[in-house]
Amino acid sequence: MKHTLTLHGKPDCHLCHEARALLQALQSEFSFSFTEIDITADRTVEEKYRNLIPVIVVDDALELPAPILERELRAILQ
């Protein structure tokens, strides 16, 4: 099953950069695509995720807020 992931974050967030790097590393191992959303571009999204970023949304259903743990993400992608 190919998953679709969305990384919600903002440009000046070091944890968001780490989450992106983790997703990029896992792409060679698991079947998924991911997009990024800058929460500062949409006030509603920013209000929702401001204190939670980075947030990875899996298949538009499951939200993984920070801290993003590799083992949790691996378990979901398997």
Cut 0.75: pTM above it? yes
Alpha carbon distance 39, 75 (integer Å): 26
Edge to edge, what strands does the sheet with 3-9 contain? 32-38, 3-9, 55-58, 62-65
**How much is the pLDDT for 40?**
97
**How much is the pLDDT for 53?**
97
pLDDT at 23 over 80: yes
Structural domain spans, the chain = 3-77
Single-letter amino acid code for the residue at 67: P
- The CATH fold assigned to 3-77 is Glutaredoxin (3.40.30)
Q: What is the pLDDT of residues 43-65, one digit of tens each?
A: 999 999 999 999 999 999 999 99
pLDDT at 1 over 90: no
